[in-house]
Chain A
Amino acid sequence: MTYTSFLKSECLVLWRRKYDIFNALLFFIMVVVLFPLGVNASPEFLAPAAGGIIWCAAVLAILMSIESMFKEDYSDGSLEQLVVSGLSLPLLVLIKISLQWVAVIFPLLVMMPLLSEMLYLSSGIFWVLVVTLIIGTPSLFLIGAIGSALTVSIKQGGVLLMLLILPFYLPVIIFATSAIQTAQSGLPYSGLLALLLAISLLFLVVSPFMTAISIKASVN
């Protein structure tokens, strides 16, 4: 196995399991639709809350797609093959996480204009939302990979995974939504974007190694 063959096979696996991602995206849309129906459908409520609604829905959808990240590989034994392949496990993990990120975030961004229109988000703020999603969501996937690797051997690990991971997601959500809110009130928001990027870069360094440690411990 080489890095390129791993990359190719991962792409193929993602393509064969495209309905998992499709389901996560449908779930995302459902959550977004629940807010106008459940809370308030007036533009006065939705326009200021849109960034937060979209971010919370995106976090839930990402959590759904992350839960199964290593599950199948663990049960069919291919996770073991990664450990004994002689390649750098953190690098393989990083490849897997990046592919998953692209596969979930790209369709999410494609749907974003539609949803932001439904939530009455103004077009100037729309680009801030897109930027926060692009630089903020990598950290969600990187943190999620750690949790997914930790709970991979537990049968009903889904709820535990949420309990483990959501605390780490909170700063990301807070910074992203406050960047959108400061942009809406016309204040400079680049500092908050920088913090988001800082969190993503921090976990880019930490997460592959921590995930690799957890995978090695789980596979034994």
Chain B
Amino acid sequence: MNWTWFHKLGSPKWFFLWSKSYALPLFFLGSVALVVGLIWGLAFTPADYLQGNSFRIIYIHVPVAILAQSCYLGLGFSGLIFLIWQMKIAPIFIQSIAPIGAVMALIALVSGAVWGKPTWGTWWVWDARLTSVLVLFLLYMGIIGLKNALDDVALANKSVAVIGAVGLINLPIIKYSVIWWNTLHQGATFTLTEKPAMAAEMWIPLLISVIGMYCLVASLVLWRMQSIILEREHRSNWVKQEVMNNGF
């Protein structure tokens, strides 16, 4: 297999030119899927026989919670990639995805609390999964704080990559926490190997909104990366050319 395209993407210039045409379509695709999934889930799906209408918050909670973890997975792996291969694009990716991941973790916590009140009777339970999402949120905040505290770009890149790669160890703990401490929280909704235990008319809109959320976050990350690339490379000739030709 030819890996040239992959190595090309490591350079900010190529990445910028390649990603320019993807952000907007992804944004529209994500918005449409999210709107379809949410309206289907909130208005047309039958109510749960046990939880009634309150289960419908799953259509916000689950996509956001999945994204909070996926963003960290991407962040941690790009930290590793930067430490091993010194790809210039990796710290730009980390810097652009960290705030989005933090917001996702925060929404997951808040929507989980809102869902927990009618079903478990409390806003907050010291359950392993809730705690680990809280930890995930703190990890994101630590990364953002470290990035902001370091003025030197090269040092900030290295530091954020180190802490992201070390934090990757936290993800398996999140995943297996449900099995280790078997507490109130229900098991994972989607697994790759088994059919979902929910009825099809419940999980299809959920799947649509999860995919929509992925596309939406991907487009936001691409946009943030593009503006960071423009900011970092503002002295280079190709950026001047780009601005002259396409106008911003």
Contacts and interface: CB of A to CB of B under 8 A. Distances in A.
Contact of B159 (A150, A166, A206): A150
Interface string A200-220: 001000100010011001101
A206 B135 CA distance: 20
A167 B138 contact: yes
A167 B142 contact: yes
Contacts of A213: 83, 158, 162
Contact of B145 (A153, A163, A218): A163
A214 B158 contact: yes
Interface string A144-160: 00110011011001001
Interface stretch (B19-27, B149-157, B232-240): B149-157
B155 A220 contact: yes
B158 A170 contact: no
B141 A153 contact: no
A61 to B, nearest CB: 21
A147 B83 CA distance: 16
B166 interface: yes
Contacts of A43: none
A220 to B, nearest CB: 7
Contacts of A150: 146, 159, 162-163
A163 B142 contact: yes
A171 B146 CA distance: 22
A170 to B, nearest CB: 6
B138 A163 contact: yes
Interface in B106-145: 131, 135, 138-139, 141-142, 145
B135 A167 contact: yes
Contacts of B158: 213-214, 217
Interface residues on A, range: 20 to 34
Contacts of A164: 142, 145-146, 163
Nearest to A216: B158
Interface stretch (B10-18, B36-44, B167-175, B212-220): B167-175
A171 B145 CA distance: 22
B143 to A, nearest CB: 8
A168 B149 contact: no
Contacts of A217: 154-155, 158-159
B94 interface: no
B6 to A, nearest CB: 24
A119 B146 CA distance: 38
Given A163-B138, A167-B135, A170-B135, A153 B155 contact: yes
A218 B165 CA distance: 17
Interface in A41-96: none
Nearest to B149: A154
B200 to A, nearest CB: 37
B13 to A, nearest CB: 25
Nearest to B156: A217
8 contacts: A143-B166, A147-B163, A166-B138, A168-B169, A171-B170, A214-B159, A217-B155, A220-B155
Interface of A: 143, 146-147, 150-151, 153-154, 157, 160, 163-164, 166-168, 170-171, 202, 206, 210, 213-214, 217-218, 220
Given A167-B139, A202-B169, A218-B159, 15 more contacts: A146-B163, A147-B163, A150-B159, A154-B149, A163-B138, A164-B163, A166-B138, A167-B138, A168-B166, A171-B173, A206-B169, A210-B166, A213-B162, A214-B159, A218-B155
